[in-house]
C-alpha cells in the first residue's frame, strides 16, 4: 500500500525515508539513509535507525535518540603539527597559484603538494583519506581529492600547460640580478608506453629501464627551487638547456652550470639578456686551456689552503677563464689513476706525466670579470643542487612516476615541484630553530606527524599528550609556547633586612 502524498510532504530531515508499519500500515516511521549497496549491478539504498515518527501531520523526533554508528560522522583525531608547520611556511604559494588558477583549483594543487610532503610516498588514491585525517581539512575544508577527481585533475593540469609555464615565469621574474642559480637534472623511472616523455637514457639503457628527465633551477641565495620542467629521458642536457632557460624566461642572475650545460648551448639567449650571466666548467680537453696556459698557475687562492689559481681573458671576447688546482684532490686523482693502472697492468709513464698536470684542476668560463675567490666559492657551492635531487627522490619519494599519459605526467610533476619547494622551506625552518643539529629532517618530520589533536568534547581541538622531548621540538619551531624560565636562586641564605 503506497504511503499517502500528504505524509510524504511533511518536512523531515534530509537523507531519510518514510516507512509504514503497524497492523493496518497506518503508522509512519522516519528512518535514516546510511548508504547504498551493490546487488547484481544495481545500487540499492541501505536504511539505518529510526530517528522519528510522523504523528498528526508533523514530524516528531525520538526523544532519546540512539547513538550514531561509528562509520558515520566526522574524524575526531587528526594529524596536526606537520600540517600546521607546512602551511605556515608555504601559505604564500597559494596566493601565487591563485594568480594563474581558479581559487578551487589552486587550493586543490596546494593540498596535494602539502600531503605529498607530510605523507612521503602517498598514492593518489590515498589523498582523500589523508586529507580527512589531517588538520588540512580543518584549515581548508571541502577540497575534492577523491581518486577519480585527482586522476582527472592531473590530466587537466597538463592539458593547460601554459598556466604552469606562467607560474614558473612569475617565480623567475622575482630572481634578483645578484642571485646564483644552479641548474641540474635528474632521471625518474617511467615505464609507461603511452607517453612521449618515457624513453631510454644513456644511464637507463644499461639497466634496461626507461626514464623521464626533470630539470630544476635552484636559487642558492634563498635556498629553494625556482622552476622545473620535464623532458624526454633520451634528451641530452645540452639540448634541454636552452629550452629550459628560454621557456621559463630566466633573464637575470648568474647561472652556475655543469659540464652538461655549456654556455654555447644557449649563447643567443645570454646575448639577448644583459642581466643574465653564466659560470660553467670547461672540459679538460678544451683548446682554450692550452691556448691561454690555464694550467700554469700564477698565485695562491686567498682564503684556501693548498689551492693555486689563474685568471685570463679570452682574446677578443668579453669572457674570462678561471683555473684552480687543489693539491688534496690532485693526490686523490693520482692515487686512483695508479690503482687502476696496477689493476689493469697498463701503466704508461709518458701518459701518466701528461695526465698528472690536470689532476685536481678545474677551469671555469664566465662572462663576468670577478675575483677568483668569488668564482671558486660560487662553483664550490654547486653541490647544493645535488641535495635538491636527493631530497626530491628520497625525502619526498619522487623516484618514479605513477601516472602514464603526457598530460598526467606534466600535471603530477608540477605538484612534485611544489612539494620539493615546500620541503626546502621546512628544512630552512628546522635549520633556523637549530633542530637539524640534533636530528635528521626525516626524524623531525616523523615526530611532528605523531603530534595529533583530538576533539573529545565541545571544548574544541586539544593536543594529545606527547613525550617531553617531542614537546621541546614543537616549542623550538614555534608551534607551542616555550615555558617561562624561572629566575635562578643564588646559593646560600638570603640576606636579612636591618
pTM for this one?
Answer: 0.74
User: Alpha-carbon distance 330 to 352, whole Å?
Assistant: 13
Handedness of CA 412, 174, 382, 94 (dihedral sign): negative
Cell 645540452 locates to 238
3-class state of residue 20 by DSSP: strand
Instruction: Check if the beta carbon of residue 279 is closer than 8 Å to that of residue 365.
Output: yes
User: Alpha-carbon distance 81 to 480, whole Å?
Assistant: 10
User: Alpha-carbon distance 96 to 227, whole Å?
Assistant: 13
Instruction: Check if the beta carbon of residue 89 is closer than 8 Å to that of residue 433.
Output: no
Distances in Å between the Cα of 480 and the Cα atoms of 318, 321, 466, 467 are 55, 53, 12, 14
What is the full per-residue pLDDT of the chain (498 aa) written as tens digits? 688 888 899 999 888 999 998 887 888 999 988 777 767 767 788 888 888 889 888 998 886 545 667 776 788 999 999 999 999 999 999 999 999 999 999 999 999 999 999 998 899 899 999 999 999 999 999 999 998 999 899 999 999 999 999 999 999 999 888 888 888 777 766 555 545 455 555 555 555 566 777 888 888 888 888 999 888 866 767 778 888 888 999 988 888 887 777 777 777 888 888 889 989 899 888 888 999 999 999 999 998 899 999 999 998 888 999 999 999 999 999 999 999 888 888 888 888 988 898 999 999 999 999 999 999 988 887 766 666 666 655 545 544 555 557 788 889 889 989 998 999 999 999 999 999 999 988 899 999 999 999 988 878 899 998 999 899 999 999 999 988 766 666 676 766 665
Handedness of CA 437, 443, 449, 453 (dihedral sign): negative
- Residue 284: closest CA among 357, 347, 333: 357
Instruction: Check if the beta carbon of residue 237 is closer than 8 Å to that of residue 260.
Output: yes
User: Alpha-carbon distance 203 to 25, whole Å?
Assistant: 77
The 10 Å Cβ neighbour count of residue 199 is 18
Distances in Å between the Cα of 398 and the Cα atoms of 12, 64, 120, 401, 402 are 50, 53, 9, 7, 9
Task: Indicate the domain borders of the chain.
Answer: 5-61, 176-401
3-class state of residue 267 by DSSP: helix
- Residue 284: closest CA among 341, 340, 354: 354
Max intra-chain CA distance, the chain: 112
Amino acid at each position: 500500500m503506497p504511503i499517502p502524498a500528504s505524509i510524504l510532504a511533511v518536512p523531515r530531515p534530509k537523507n531519510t525515508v518514510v516507512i509504514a508499519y503497524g497492523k493496518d500500515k497506518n503508522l509512519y516511521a522516519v528512518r535514516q539513509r546510511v548508504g547504498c549497496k551493490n546487488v547484481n549491478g544495481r545500487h540499492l539504498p541501505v536504511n539505518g535507525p529510526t530517528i522519528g515518527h510522523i504523528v498528526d501531520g508533523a514530524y516528531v523526533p525520538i526523544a532519546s535518540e540512539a547513538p550514531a554508528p561509528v562509520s558515520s560522522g566526522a574524524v575526531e583525531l587528526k594529524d596536526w603539527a606537520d600540517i600546521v608547520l607546512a602551511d605556515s611556511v608555504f601559505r604564500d604559494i597559494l596566493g601565487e597559484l591563485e594568480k594563474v588558477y581558479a581559487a578551487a583549483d589552486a587550493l586543490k594543487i596546494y593540498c596535494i603538494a602539502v600531503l605529498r610532503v607530510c605523507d612521503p610516498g602517498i598514492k593518489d588514491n590515498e589523498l582523500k583519506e589523508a586529507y580527512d585525517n589531517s588538520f588540512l581539512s580543518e584549515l581548508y575544508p571541502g577540497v575534492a581529492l577523491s581518486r577519480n577527481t585527482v586522476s582527472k585533475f592531473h590530466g587537466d593540469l597538463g592539458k593547460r600547460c601554459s598556466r604552469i609555464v606562467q607560474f614558473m615565469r612569475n617565480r623567475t621574474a622575482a630572481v634578483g640580478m645578484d642571485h646564483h642559480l644552479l641548474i641540474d637534472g635528474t632521471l625518474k623511472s617511467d615505464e609507461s608506453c603511452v607517453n612521449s616523455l618515457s624513453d631510454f637514457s644513456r644511464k637507463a639503457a644499461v639497466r634496461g629501464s626507461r626514464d623521464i628527465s626533470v630539470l630544476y633551477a635552484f636559487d642558492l641565495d634563498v635556498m629553494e627551487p625556482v622552476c622545473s620542467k620535464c623532458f624526454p629521458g633520451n634528451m641530452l642536457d645540452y639540448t634541454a638547456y636552452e629550452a629550459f632557460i628560454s621557456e621559463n624566461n630566466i633573464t637575470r642572475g648568474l647561472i652556475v652550470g655543469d659540464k652538461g650545460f655549456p654556455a654555447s648551448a644557449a649563447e643567443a639567449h645570454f646575448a639577448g639578456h644583459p642581466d643574465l650571466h653564466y659560470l660553467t666548467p670547461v672540459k679538460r680537453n678544451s683548446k682554450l686551456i692550452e691556448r691561454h696556459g690555464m694550467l700554469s698557475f700564477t698565485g695562491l687562492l686567498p682564503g684556501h689552503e693548498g689551492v693555486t689559481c689563474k685568471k685570463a681573458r679570452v682574446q677578443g671576447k668579453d669572457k674570462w677563464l678561471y683555473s684552480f688546482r687543489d693539491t688534496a684532490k690532485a693526490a686523490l686523482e693520482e692515487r686512483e689513476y695508479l690503482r687502476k693502472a696496477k689493476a689493469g697492468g697498463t701503466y704508461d709513464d709518458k701518459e701518466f706525466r701528461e695526465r698528472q698536470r690536470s689532476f685536481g684542476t678545474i677551469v671555469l668560463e664566465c662572462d663576468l670579470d670577478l675575483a677568483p675567490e668569488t668564482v671558486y666559492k660560487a662553483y664550490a657551492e654547486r653541490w647544493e643542487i645535488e641535495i635538491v635531487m636527493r631530497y626530491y627522490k628520497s625525502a619526498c619519494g619522487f623516484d618514479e612516476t605513477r601516472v602514464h599519459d603526457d598530460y598526467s605526467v606534466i600535471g603530477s610533476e608540477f605538484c612534485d615541484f611544489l612539494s620539493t619547494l615546500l620541503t626546502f622551506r621546512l628544512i630552512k625552518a628546522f635549520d633556523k630553530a637549530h633542530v637539524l643539529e640534533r636530528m635528521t629532517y626525516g626524524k623531525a618530520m616523523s615526530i611532528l606527524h605523531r603530534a595529533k589533536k583530538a576533539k573529545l568534547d565541545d571544548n574544541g581541538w586539544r593536543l594529545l599528550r606527547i613525550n617531553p622531548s617531542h614537546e621541546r621540538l614543537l616549542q623550538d619551531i614555534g608551534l607551542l609556547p616555550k615555558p617561562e624560565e624561572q629566575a635562578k636562586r643564588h646559593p646560600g641564605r638570603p640576606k636579612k633586612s636591618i
